[in-house]
Amino acid sequence: MDLKLATIDLGLIAPEIIIAAVAMLILLLGNVVRRRTILAYFGLFGLVAALLTALPRWGNPASGFYGMVQADNFAIFFKIIFIIAAGLTILMARRYLISHEIESPEFYALLLFSAVGMMVMAATSDLVVIFLGLEIMSVPLYVMAAFARHDVSSNEAGIKYFIMGAFASGILIYGIALVYGATGTTDLRRILADWGFFEMHSQLFLYSGAILVLIGFGFKVAAVPFHMWVPDVYQGAPTPVTAFFSVAPKAAGFAALLRIFTYGFADMSQLWAILWILAVLTMTVGNILAIFQDNIKRMLAYSSIAHAGYILVALTAGGDGAVSSAAYYLLAYTFFNLGAFAVITLIDTRNSSTAQIDEMQGLSGRHPFLAAVLALFMFALAGFPPTAGFMGKFYIFSEAIKNGYIGLAIIGVMNSFVSVYYYLRVVVVSFFARPNKEFEAVSYTPAIFIVLVITAAGTLILGILPGYWLSLARAGIFQFL
């Protein structure tokens, strides 16, 4: 055994420790501190401290806890995504929580605990620890979905998410058990190293376990046909919670899938046909069903499914370029999807709001800045240049073609054309539809304005200067220990 791998170094998990400690302090101080704003910004302080602790590890990989913790560039890249998503969600959430009379310290603590689970998932190459991180992430999310406890639709969202999440976890842990039975280990590095020595019956159990693991994560990233819970949960949950759902858990799920299927299970070439089918179904079903939605949260739920399909294209293509393109896309998606939900959250703070697309009528006349950034985010989701959405799709489809998946790339491009319809519908309603009544004004807060500026800047910067960010993704993705 490499004794370095057995090192119990708490510095390797310092970001997770900081965020967990801050979350527990928020719970303790919740009944003492009257001004909840202090607790929200205390949570932001914890996220910034965790980020500053994680960044020095870039380029200095280390492993510990018997190889179960990997402090490499891959983990740091995804930790940055989780911290950005959690921080922006805290900023956009407070006004919404107050307006709906559901603000409490537990919200910020649950958000931070969930982020800890995501960071654990990204920072390990052991299947059991990945599952541990998944549960740390998921349990707070079940509560957050039902956080508006006096709202029937929010309660329904929480129950559905819990049932489907528990079902997916059961499938996943059974798949891990089969993998362990076939290989005698849950360490992805050992599985890859010993691949040629597994007997035929062991490989049968290993493939069965791998398929179940894929199904379990298919639920988490909302791949078709495991997407059934997404529209109702996204529509029923509080809007800032839906914003967080749409990016952070998805990124965590794909972080785990990238670790597992491009590293530990890299030699399972037969699984790539399944990934191809999942990618096509997920893109197509998500985009087609989004066309028929009148509720913007429900429309973005199906949009989220479609974007999971685009990332599955990269996972199917494989190779350094394709997987780093997926990581770049997840970073870009964090900005423009959270930005779109920030606009919806601001509009949804009005008591009369029902989150219908028709509510956007007259938005450009009353709030031109809000309409402009909403249009930017819709263009990015559709894949228009010079936004990050265009460059993300360009890189993914280009890598698919380079690796021989020309048909898959063509299907992806056709799906992008389909998505243009329902994204531009929001823009047309916001700018050109004649309102039946005057648009009810919304009031900005400094926090929500900061979110809009950061997400809009991220959407444009990653689109105009993509090379630097793609090189960071490429530096991180394949620095596995």
Report the length, in residues, of the chain: 481
Residue that the structure tokens 């009353």 belong to: 366
In the structure, what pLDDT confidence band is assigned to residue 94 with cuts at 50, 70 and 90? confident
Res 450: pLDDT:
92
Higher pLDDT, 423 or 31: 423
Res 368: pLDDT:
86
Whether the per-residue pLDDT at 200 is higher than 70: the answer is no
Separation CA 430–CA 473 (nearest Å): 35
Which tens digit of pLDDT belongs to each residue from 304-358? 999 999 999 988 887 777 788 888 999 999 999 999 999 998 888 876 667 788 8
Structure tokens at 264: 């530990």
Cα dihedral across residues 341, 39, 106, 171: positive or negative: positive
Residue 72 burial (CB count, 10 A):
24
Separation CA 19–CA 21 (nearest Å): 5
Contact 317, 403 (CB under 8 A): yes
Separation CA 175–CA 215 (nearest Å): 9
Q: Which of helix, strand or coil describes residue 269? A: coil
Res 87: pLDDT:
94
Residue that the structure tokens 């200067």 belong to: 465
Q: What percent of the chain has pLDDT over 70?
A: 91
Q: Quote the longest CA-to-CA distance of the chain.
A: 72
Contact 47, 83 (CB under 8 A): yes
Read off φ and ψ for residue 126, nearest 5 degrees: -115, 130
Rounded to a whole number of angstroms, the distance between the first and last alpha carbons of the chain is 15
Question: Which range has the worst mean pLDDT, 44-48, 97-101, 468-472?
Answer: 468-472
**Single-letter amino acid code for the residue at 18:** I
Res 480: pLDDT:
46
Separation CA 375–CA 456 (nearest Å): 10
Whether the per-residue pLDDT at 141 is higher than 60: the answer is yes
Chain mean pLDDT for the chain: 86
Angle between helical axes of 73-99 and 319-348 (0-180°, round to 10): 10
Structure tokens at 268: 């399972």
Structure tokens at 80: 């940055």
Whether the per-residue pLDDT at 288 is higher than 90: the answer is yes
Separation CA 44–CA 73 (nearest Å): 23
Separation CA 79–CA 140 (nearest Å): 18
Contact 66, 5 (CB under 8 A): yes
Q: Which of helix, strand or coil describes residue 86? A: helix
Smallest CA-to-CA distance from 337 within 294, 383, 287 is with 383
Res 101: pLDDT:
82
Which tens digit of pLDDT belongs to each residue from 95-120? 888 888 888 888 999 999 999 999 99
DSSP β-bridge partners for residue 295: 356
Which regions of 49-132 does DSSP assign to beta strands (E)? 62-64, 69-71
Contact 412, 310 (CB under 8 A): yes
Separation CA 386–CA 379 (nearest Å): 9
In the structure, what pLDDT confidence band is assigned to residue 481 with cuts at 50, 70 and 90? very low
Higher pLDDT, 257 or 367: 257
Residue that the structure tokens 């070439």 belong to: 269
Structure tokens at 230: 């997404």
Separation CA 181–CA 343 (nearest Å): 49
**Structural element, H or E, at residue 113:** helix 105-122
Res 202: pLDDT:
67
Whether the per-residue pLDDT at 124 is higher than 60: the answer is yes
Which tens digit of pLDDT belongs to each residue from 414-460? 999 999 999 999 999 888 877 666 666 677 788 888 999 999 999 99
Contact 26, 39 (CB under 8 A): yes
Q: What percent of the chain has pLDDT over 90?
A: 42
Which tens digit of pLDDT belongs to each residue from 377-413? 999 999 898 889 899 999 999 989 998 889 999 999 9
